[in-house]
């Protein structure tokens, strides 16, 4: 079999120890790999490279397109960029796949039947990092959800479920509040779910969904969600499974894929040969499936399960009063896995890996462009906290064409007209100008309105145009 080229980085902290252990197991199991080692992390940051990646790493990745990465230490402060965020966005790794399994009774956990795969959108949402301070009192962060971004990760979740013999895909969102952003994710989920009638699907509001995931994880199978919820909930599920040292993850894109443990570089236990290499090893198993070496992946996974079953445990999961029989270091654990290659677990479920889906091509669906019509503008003002009626009286004198002041809100709550005097107000006000019955307005009318307001001394800090798409409002209504 031809060797598959992959890029490998040993990382920082416990990275080198767990990578060495992982690669030893891969080699002993007969993985056909042509490994190109690159430097990332602390040493690279210290050389003044702000994203922590040696330029040669890019060259290597452009060639191999597959990255097995150990954790790195991200230096605090100093304008350094997160290497992981750089990798995800630069390589368009839109799906983060994190399987979490309980290995009860061999690893202590309150949830013996947990076998959940969290698939997290990886590039959008509140993680675009677009933040602004707008007034003395108020800062904002933009939450961006796109239709293609949602479509790709949701489609991947269904393809993953199908390829891995899973039964159900669940969507978690907060679209009772964020009707447009999380609403788009949810609608996309409902539309794509119809293309997979062989799989069950359901959706939960993320708060109750998270509570259920944390208390009855066995009722979930594959779970797909936007970036922030996925980030938080994948850590919750990993922690409840028994140890952060046990979970691996895959970051999947159309052209590249990156595999790593979910934990960090654990500097406090580095260099002591006590770290658990399992998270990175299970990430490497996912990598082997990705590059078409599913048989090797299956062999390694079975030998690893047998090692865990035999009670050969690193200190993070070792329990003297439990099923543990031998407390071992990182190297000895790897040796124990190698000794068991070819063996099967007797209690834990071995997995027969098949092909996992390559990132599904984004379907070129003929798309009818909606009629987009400008119908108003939200003008945001920095105005020292005062009486909403005073501001209302001042601002209502401004109008332009069909644009007339309709409502003023403060932190989203209506304060004019007919506000409640007790509503707490900051210095950040939104004045909504709209025509009656969504009458069309022109950009020139918006510009004129802003000119008049700024000439009158009002501090306009930003505006958001209000559009309808095929007559459907593309902006949230003001309740009350
Ligand atoms: P961490 O995951 O490194 O450690 C959290 C806890 O889990 C610690 O108690 C640690 O000892 C334990 N732990 C982690 N991995 C273990 C393993 N394999 N075996 C046994 N115990 C293990 O998180 P942290 O301490 O918050 O972060 C340390 C550094 O790692 C930081 O610089 C952070 O930025 C970085 N980090 C990197 C990545 C990555 O490269 N993907 C991810 C998360 C954190």
More confident residue, 385 or 32: 32
Can 1-95+242-352 and 110-234 be said to share one CATH topology? yes
Is residue 71 lining ligand 1, measured as CB closer than 6 Å? Answer: yes
Q: What is the pLDDT of residues 451-477, one digit of tens each?
A: 999 999 999 999 999 999 999 999 999
Q: Which two tokens stand for residue 66?
A: 């597959």
Q: What is the mean pLDDT of residues 391-400?
A: 94
Q: What distances in angstroms separate CA 373 from CA 27, 194, 261, one per listed residue?
A: 61, 31, 47
- Ligand 1 midpoint to CA 178 (Å): 33
- Ligand 1 midpoint to CA 238 (Å): 13
Question: What is the pLDDT, as a whole number, of residue 296?
Answer: 97
Is residue 280 lining ligand 1, measured as CB closer than 6 Å? Answer: no
Is residue 54 lining ligand 1, measured as CB closer than 6 Å? Answer: no
Question: What is the pLDDT, as a whole number, of residue 74?
Answer: 84
Question: What is the pLDDT, as a whole number, of residue 127?
Answer: 87
- Please name which of 115, 95, 96 lies closest in space to residue 104, comparing C-alpha atoms: 115
- Ligand 1 midpoint to CA 42 (Å): 14
Is residue 265 lining ligand 1, measured as CB closer than 6 Å? Answer: yes
Please tell me the residue having the least CA distance from ligand 1 atom 12. Answer: 266
Is residue 26 lining ligand 1, measured as CB closer than 6 Å? Answer: no
Q: What is the pLDDT of residues 71-108, one digit of tens each?
A: 999 887 777 777 888 888 889 899 999 999 999 999 98
- Ligand 1 midpoint to CA 71 (Å): 8
Spatial contact of 65 and 359, defined as CB atoms under 8 Å apart: no
Question: What is the pLDDT, as a whole number, of residue 358?
Answer: 64
131-133 and 139-141 strand pairing: antiparallel
Spatial contact of 74 and 82, defined as CB atoms under 8 Å apart: yes
- Ligand 1 midpoint to CA 433 (Å): 50
Question: What is the pLDDT, as a whole number, of residue 193?
Answer: 97
Is residue 244 lining ligand 1, measured as CB closer than 6 Å? Answer: yes
Please tell me the residue having the least CA distance from ligand 1 atom 38. Answer: 264
List, in sequence order, every beta strand (DSSP E) within 315-398. Answer: 326-327, 372-382
Is residue 74 lining ligand 1, measured as CB closer than 6 Å? Answer: yes
- Ligand 1 midpoint to CA 198 (Å): 39
β-partners of residue 72 are: none
Atom of ligand 1 nearest to the CA of 276: 19
Query: CATH second-level architecture of 1-95+242-352?
Result: 3-Layer(aba) Sandwich (3.40)
pLDDT category at 245 given cuts 50, 70, 90 is confident
**Percentage of the chain exceeding pLDDT 70:** 97
- Ligand 1 midpoint to CA 72 (Å): 9
Radius of gyration of the chain (CA): 26
Rounded Cα–Cα distance for residues 250 and 290 (Å)? 9
- Ligand 1 midpoint to CA 330 (Å): 16
CATH superfamily for 110-234 is Isopropylmalate Dehydrogenase (3.40.718.10)
The lowest-confidence range among 166-170, 230-234, 243-247, 277-281 is 243-247
Question: What is the pLDDT, as a whole number, of residue 61?
Answer: 96
Reply yes or no on domain 372-473 having CATH 3.30.300.30. Answer: no
- Ligand 1 midpoint to CA 266 (Å): 4
Question: What is the pLDDT, as a whole number, of residue 366?
Answer: 57
For the chain, give every domain's residue range: 1-95+242-352, 110-234, 372-473
Spatial contact of 78 and 48, defined as CB atoms under 8 Å apart: no
- Please name which of 159, 182, 160 lies closest in space to residue 171, comparing C-alpha atoms: 182
Question: What is the pLDDT, as a whole number, of residue 368?
Answer: 80
Instruction: Kindly state the greatest CA–CA separation across the chain.
Output: 82
Rounded Cα–Cα distance for residues 124 and 146 (Å)? 8
Q: What is the pLDDT of residues 57-71, one digit of tens each?
A: 999 999 999 999 999
Rounded Cα–Cα distance for residues 198 and 233 (Å)? 26
The overall average pLDDT reported for the chain is 93
Is residue 275 lining ligand 1, measured as CB closer than 6 Å? Answer: yes
Question: What is the pLDDT, as a whole number, of residue 479?
Answer: 79
- Ligand 1 midpoint to CA 190 (Å): 36
Report H helices in 53-204: 55-64, 83-90, 147-163, 181-193
Count other Cβ atoms within 10 Å, centred on residue 72: 26
Residue to mutate, 265, 284, 316, 327, ligand 1, most ligand atoms under 8 Å from C-beta: 265
Question: What is the pLDDT, as a whole number, of residue 63?
Answer: 97
Atom of ligand 1 nearest to the CA of 268: 11
Spatial contact of 278 and 245, defined as CB atoms under 8 Å apart: yes
CA angle (302, 304, 307) in 5-degree steps: 110
- Ligand 1 midpoint to CA 265 (Å): 4
pLDDT category at 420 given cuts 50, 70, 90 is very high
pLDDT category at 364 given cuts 50, 70, 90 is low
Question: What is the pLDDT, as a whole number, of residue 337?
Answer: 98
Q: What is the pLDDT of residues 261-307, one digit of tens each?
A: 999 999 999 999 999 999 999 999 999 999 999 999 999 999 999 99
Q: Which two tokens stand for residue 85?
A: 């965020």
* Long-range contacts, 269-273 (Cβ 8 Å, 24+): 269/14, 270/12, 270/13, 270/14, 270/17, 271/17, 272/329, 273/17, 273/329, 273/330, 273/331
Question: What is the pLDDT, as a whole number, of residue 365?
Answer: 60
- Please name which of 368, 350, 384 lies closest in space to residue 458, comparing C-alpha atoms: 384
Please tell me the residue having the least CA distance from ligand 1 atom 11. Answer: 266
Is residue 251 lining ligand 1, measured as CB closer than 6 Å? Answer: no
Question: What is the pLDDT, as a whole number, of residue 359?
Answer: 62
List, in sequence order, every beta strand (DSSP E) within 307-353. Answer: 312-313, 326-327
Residue to mutate, 9, 244, 276, 283, ligand 1, most ligand atoms under 8 Å from C-beta: 244
- Quick check: helix, strand or coil at residue 98? strand
Rounded Cα–Cα distance for residues 441 and 308 (Å)? 67
476: left (phi over 0), alpha (psi -120 to 50) or beta: beta
- Ligand 1 midpoint to CA 264 (Å): 3
**Which residues have C-beta within 8 Å of that of residue 472, sequence separation ≥ 6?**
none
What pTM value is reported for the model?
Answer: 0.91
């Amino acid at each position: 079999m031809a060797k598959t080229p992959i890029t490998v980085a040993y990382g920082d902290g416990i990275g080198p120890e767990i990578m060495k252990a992982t690669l030893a197991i891969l080699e002993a199991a007969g993985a056909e790999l042509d490994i190109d080692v690159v430097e990332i992390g602390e040493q690279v940051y210290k050389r003044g490279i702000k994203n922590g990646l040696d330029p040669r790493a890019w060259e290597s990745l452009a060639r191999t397109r597959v990255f097995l990465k150990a954790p790195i230490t991200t230096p605090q402060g100093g304008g350094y960029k997160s290497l992981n965020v750089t990798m995800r966005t630069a390589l368009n790794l839109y799906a983060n796949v994190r399987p979490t399994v309980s290995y009860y009774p061999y690893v202590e956990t309150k949830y013996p039947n947990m076998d959940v795969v969290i698939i997290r959108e990886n590039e959008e949402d509140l993680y675009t990092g677009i933040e602004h301070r707008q007034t003395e009192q108020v800062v904002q962060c933009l939450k961006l959800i796109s239709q293609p971004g949602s479509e790709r990760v949701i489609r991947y979740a269904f393809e993953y479920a199908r390829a891995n013999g899973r039964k159900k895909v669940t969507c978690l969102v907060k679209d009772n509040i964020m009707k447009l952003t999380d609403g788009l994710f949810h609608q996309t989920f409902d539309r794509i779910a119809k293309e997979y009638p062989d799989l069950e699907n359901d959706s939960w509001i993320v708060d109750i969904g998270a509570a259920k995931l944390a208390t009855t994880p066995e009722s979930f199978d594959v779970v797909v969600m936007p970036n922030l919820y996925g980030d938080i909930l994948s850590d919750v599920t990993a922690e409840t499974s028994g140890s952060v040292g046990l979970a691996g993850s895959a970051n999947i894109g159309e052209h590249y894929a990156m595999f790593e443990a979910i934990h960090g570089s654990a500097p406090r236990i580095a260099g002591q040969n006590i770290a658990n290499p399992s998270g990175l090893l299970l990430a490497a198993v996912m990598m082997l499936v990705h590059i078409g070496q599913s048989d090797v992946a299956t062999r390694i996974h079975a030998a690893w399960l047998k090692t865990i079953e035999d009670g050969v445990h690193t200190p993070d999961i070792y329990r003297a009063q439990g099923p543990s029989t031998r407390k071992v270091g990182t190297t000895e654990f790897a040796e124990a896995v190698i000794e068991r290659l070819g063996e099967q677990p007797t209690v834990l479920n071995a997995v027969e890996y098949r092909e996992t889906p390559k990132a599904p091509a984004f379907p070129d669906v003929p798309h009818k462009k909606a009629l987009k019509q400008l119908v108003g503008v939200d003008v945001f003002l920095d105005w020292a906290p005062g009486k909403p009626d005073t501001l209302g009286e001042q601002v209502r004198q401004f109008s332009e064409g069909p644009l007339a002041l309709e409502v003023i809100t403060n932190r989203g709550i209506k304060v004019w007209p007919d506000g409640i005097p007790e509503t707490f107000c900051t210095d950040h006000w939104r004045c909504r100008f709209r025509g009656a019955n969504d009458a069309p307005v022109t950009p020139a009318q918006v510009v004129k309105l802003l000119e008049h307001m700024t000439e009158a001394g009002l501090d306009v800090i930003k505006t958001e145009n209000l559009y309808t798409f095929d007559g459907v409002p593309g902006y949230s209504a003001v309740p009350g």
